[in-house]
Structure 1
């Protein structure tokens, strides 16, 4: 699941799960018969591959994600699903990597070594790059302005290059360490202050560059991927990132020695006097960088099962799960650096594969669905719902013919609220079923009452949900198009979330299979009933 929160309003009501009070459907024997393909053993076969160390955490735009895409494509092909994208199972996404090229920093005419003495990140370089030269800089200590302490007092930074420490704060008690998040926030504050003060650039003294490992160097140099939509291109053209450069302690000392001091001496002086040591330093500094654009392989994987009814087959039910995760994190403590993403979202992807097998088996036996079904595993969810957004901008099947999206994102574990409870192995968070269609909400309850009898928890339909779960997975890009959705989710937000501990060994496979069966039975009803679910709600859970 995507970590970012979107800040759109949500005005809806909570719906209590009440399958005991809902009139069940007449159980369909064929649906039950073919659901047997959705079982723990088959789930393990897929997930043990997709979430293995060999797939390196399946980060978008990397080898691991390509391996996962190939695995899913080959499985869809083995089932006999149609390749719906002009004869391909891949819907290619226009993804590019923006990295820094030709970066340069000189101090008094002496060149420094990139990714050793200094670092220029790709997000600090505009589309056209930057270059500057100066004969003097402003050293502003820690760049702190609070609690009666002001490193900028009496300084004019307009048009100047400013040198500050990245970490540390003289107003904080000695011995208190800043967390990683606090460091990021402090850096953002310092950068924002100097940008608003119209400084030319900021140079951060960053001790983490003093002993860069090869792994860290690789992480620094890989750049950043961006889905290349016209909106993104236009936005980048309008942006002019404030230039930031990070330097090592040794490089900082090369600058400070011109003023007869050093990093250690300045820090000691500030600590002893509790006063700023800011000054203008006469030193010749030049810097430049260009941005390089490189295409990156990236694709959604689609398999299509055509419906059996001559009229209804033009309508499509879309079943989704995202196969990407966050890859390898070298900075994590401990020997395990791979974020396997077994639950997030290897479990949901596995659910899509299991449902594909069940529906294909039904069709081979002459019991195929009347409407068509698109099985789609999407990429880039962790980057900002990229894959589903791309599909929403470039739909393979007409939006007006897409009757519903059922999205499985994290269905393999027990969330914190259910740990140790009697129903810990018989629940699922059902998100958004009533946002656009009261028909779909009612159908979901009827299906559950008939087949799976799970507890449907609607907690995340609460408009006051602080986690904003409704906006954080791929179903949302369908909902924005006015397509009814249900998002199935286990609620695991703390234990192992986006960490190497999200391993196959921690998956509850019987529970994964049961949740996938609930999704399958709901899809079966959607694909076979006479009428599609009416869109009678406003997208926020209010009747139109």
Structure 2
């Protein structure tokens, strides 16, 4: 994987054909220094960041201010440098769209109950959404993918129409047909892509049919995540004008009723949509009325750098999103989405890794390459902070060697294996293989590739630009019988807590597995930080053309 040239600019990909140096590296890599992570310090960071005082860490709230102060103080104490001209804060211009809970939504003559049947919003700066008798069109999976010879929008004009779309992609429904990537979700299966494509097609609106198994999460996650204020990056007028006027989700039961009203069978159409590209005019209309407001405010990424000794302009990134959902005063009882596992634990993880590298640097064991730690904002709303940093990098993207992303660390004890989400993407995984092997662990892919995990966290914003990026941690096989018993008990306690108010810190979490995983990332980054390798993406990855592996 020895590559001595940085990523060619994405805009020049058609002309990029390498340029590998013929001069071998002269430096002998330093031996990786073993470190011991401080579990109590790690616990304290998780507990503090997910405490009620931090109010669920929603962007642009008091909870954000407390989070930014906490992280900035931690990085300052370590002796790291603020990456934004000395400041740890990178402003991320954001807008919060809040749709009224009192919505009048009628699809095919069926009155919809907000939250119970449907959630809708508008990412437009308008005070009122008013849609009368807009035609409804079923567009299968809502995919336009020339490389798969697939276009669900073939021969249809979506102007003034609302697209009804299936979640995931055809490979999930018919994995044995070798369509797309089989049971492993492609980016075409992600909700973000579906809304983007409907917008490109000129649709007035886009509504995804929620189905728990292909979505990989229950309706409660949709309800909790898609109601209340919805943050987004501020778009220019051209981008804004192209976006669908309304977007949201509908339950599978209500969707079945809608299709029955149109004289059609949704299960039959779902089966056909997985076989080949499909769109069907439902011959039914939608009327939608609700008020909407937009509030503008900057949120912030926290970016701290530990400069390298000789290859100082080459950066290895660690990312973890500090944000969560915030609070919901419409709920009875607990109203705070503390987000302890997701993602106070990942944020605490990059703090602990940063401390260890900083301590080693002070002891004269620093890396040749620079390390940059980014606690991102707005991940829960669509990877907003990482998307903004990737588009407005504080260090050149073509000098970014790799990205290690932490999102929800392992609270279920030590494991014999180590999970790499989307395994098989890049040569960066070789470093993880080696580091895991030093712990007598083997690397494996995720147990549910249909969930599209590789596209669901901040590393993806960098992968889209060709930077090798990994999202890894935990494992499926507990270390021993006692750990397996604990995991079963804790898994039952944590059931249903993803994006829910019960995701709070638990003093009885076994964090030994999380500390194991921090060690894998640490060792992998330490080795990469002391050599001249530029890992690339393997042939077969959609990112291979951007930075190809040797």
* Alignment partners' CA distance in 1, 2:324 and 2:88: 20
- Aligned pair partner of 2:235 in 224, 229, 251: 229
**Structure 1 residues 455 and 59: alpha-carbon distance in aligned structure 2, compared to 1, 3 A threshold:** farther
**Structure 1 residues 304 and 47: alpha-carbon distance in aligned structure 2, compared to 1, 3 A threshold:** same
**Structure 1 residues 79 and 485: alpha-carbon distance in aligned structure 2, compared to 1, 3 A threshold:** same
Helix, strand or coil: the match of 1:304? strand
The residue that corresponds to 2:299 in the other structure is: 298
**Structure 1 residues 86 and 510: alpha-carbon distance in aligned structure 2, compared to 1, 3 A threshold:** same
Asked if structure 1 preserves the Cα contact closer than 8 Å seen for 2:99 and 2:122, the reply is no
The residue that corresponds to 1:458 in the other structure is: 445
Aligned residues: 360
* Alignment partners' CA distance in 2, 1:55 and 1:131: 33
* Alignment partners' CA distance in 2, 1:322 and 1:130: 32
Helix, strand or coil: the match of 2:520? helix
Asked if structure 2 preserves the Cα contact closer than 8 Å seen for 1:317 and 1:374, the reply is yes
The residue that corresponds to 1:67 in the other structure is: 66
Establish whether residue 430 from structure 1 lines up as the match of residue 414 from structure 2. no
1:82 positional shift: 0.6
* Alignment partners' CA distance in 2, 1:221 and 1:500: 14
Establish whether residue 81 from structure 1 lines up as the match of residue 71 from structure 2. no
Higher Rg: 1
**Structure 1 residues 536 and 519: alpha-carbon distance in aligned structure 2, compared to 1, 3 A threshold:** same
Alignment of 1:190-229 (within 5 A): 223-229=229-235
Helix, strand or coil: the match of 2:304? strand
1:379 positional shift: 0.9
1:454-505 residue CA offsets vs partner (Å, 9 max, x unmatched): 3433126x8xx22111110001111111111110244889542112222211
* Alignment partners' CA distance in 2, 1:99 and 1:295: 12
* Alignment partners' CA distance in 2, 1:130 and 1:345: 34
1:424 positional shift: 5.7
* Alignment partners' CA distance in 2, 1:62 and 1:131: 26
The residue that corresponds to 1:503 in the other structure is: 504
1:271-291 residue CA offsets vs partner (Å, 9 max, x unmatched): xxxxxxxxxxxxxxxx99986
The residue that corresponds to 1:325 in the other structure is: 324
Asked if structure 2 preserves the Cα contact closer than 8 Å seen for 1:370 and 1:527, the reply is yes
Asked if structure 1 preserves the Cα contact closer than 8 Å seen for 2:232 and 2:384, the reply is no
TM-score normalised to the size of structure 1? 0.58
**Structure 1 residues 62 and 530: alpha-carbon distance in aligned structure 2, compared to 1, 3 A threshold:** same
Helix, strand or coil: the match of 1:501? coil
Alignment of 1:117-266 (within 5 A): 123=121, 127-129=125-127, 223-230=229-236, 233-239=237-243, 241=245
The residue that corresponds to 1:479 in the other structure is: 463
**Structure 1 residues 427 and 507: alpha-carbon distance in aligned structure 2, compared to 1, 3 A threshold:** farther
**Structure 1 residues 412 and 220: alpha-carbon distance in aligned structure 2, compared to 1, 3 A threshold:** closer
- Aligned pair partner of 2:520 in 518, 521, 528: 518
The residue that corresponds to 1:348 in the other structure is: 346
1:126-152 residue CA offsets vs partner (Å, 9 max, x unmatched): 5454599xxxx99xxxxxxxxxxxxxx
1:449 positional shift: 1.4
**Structure 1 residues 412 and 442: alpha-carbon distance in aligned structure 2, compared to 1, 3 A threshold:** closer
1:390-423 residue CA offsets vs partner (Å, 9 max, x unmatched): 1111011111110100001111323xxxxxxxx8
Asked if structure 2 preserves the Cα contact closer than 8 Å seen for 1:326 and 1:382, the reply is yes
**Structure 1 residues 472 and 489: alpha-carbon distance in aligned structure 2, compared to 1, 3 A threshold:** farther
1:238 positional shift: 3.5
1:427 positional shift: 4.1
Asked if structure 1 preserves the Cα contact closer than 8 Å seen for 2:318 and 2:350, the reply is yes
1:306 positional shift: 0.5
- Aligned pair partner of 1:31 in 17, 27, 33: 33
* Alignment partners' CA distance in 1, 2:63 and 2:496: 24
* Alignment partners' CA distance in 2, 1:128 and 1:336: 32
* Alignment partners' CA distance in 1, 2:81 and 2:501: 35
The residue that corresponds to 1:247 in the other structure is: none
- Alpha-carbon RMSD: 4.0
1:388 positional shift: 0.6
Helix, strand or coil: the match of 1:78? helix
* Alignment partners' CA distance in 2, 1:398 and 1:517: 27
**Structure 1 residues 455 and 330: alpha-carbon distance in aligned structure 2, compared to 1, 3 A threshold:** farther
Asked if structure 2 preserves the Cα contact closer than 8 Å seen for 1:127 and 1:237, the reply is no
Alignment of 1:390-429 (within 5 A): 390-414=388-412, 425-429=415-419
Asked if structure 1 preserves the Cα contact closer than 8 Å seen for 2:338 and 2:503, the reply is yes
1:67-117 residue CA offsets vs partner (Å, 9 max, x unmatched): 11221011111111011112210111011234589x9x9xxxxxxxxxxxx
**Structure 1 residues 129 and 122: alpha-carbon distance in aligned structure 2, compared to 1, 3 A threshold:** farther
1:57 positional shift: 1.1
